[in-house]
Amino acid sequence: MTDEEKLKGIIGKENPFKVPDGYFEDFQQRLMSSLPERSFAQKKPVRIPIWRNTRTWVSAAAVFAGVIVMVAALHRADNLRDAAYASTDDGIFTEEEMSEYLATSVFDDYTLYSYLTNDE
């Protein structure tokens, strides 16, 4: 048992003081009716420059526009890539397409071979 607990056991927490009847109610009424005049701090109206006021919205709009442009650019790149692949469906030439291409191309066999082996 601590000293504090021992002390509580002896002296308890009883309040031995009294106040006159109705003291607290009277006090509040007396005090409120006798408060001195008080000068209030004059608040100057705060003028916020138009730019500072709209800066947040302009910044947000710029970020939003940037995101839109970026998404549009990526979307366009995807479309172009899809278009390139569209001729071959899955991007791989069929044997018939290759033959047709070779037949109409201006490459001779040597040039084509060099091209395919990167040996220029």
Binding site for another protein (CB under 8 A): 3-4, 6-7, 10-11, 13-20, 23-24, 27-28, 31-32, 35-36, 38, 40-41
Q: Which is nearer to another protein, 32 or 116 (CB)?
A: 32
By the 8 A CB rule, do 88 and 96 touch? no
* Count of Cβ atoms closer than 10 Å to residue 93 Cβ: 12
The residue to which tokens 């030439």 are assigned: 93
Q: Contact 115/107 with Cβ under 8 angstroms? A: yes
Q: In terms of CB distance, is 36 or 49 closer to another protein?
A: 36
- Min dist CB 82 to another protein, Å, is 58
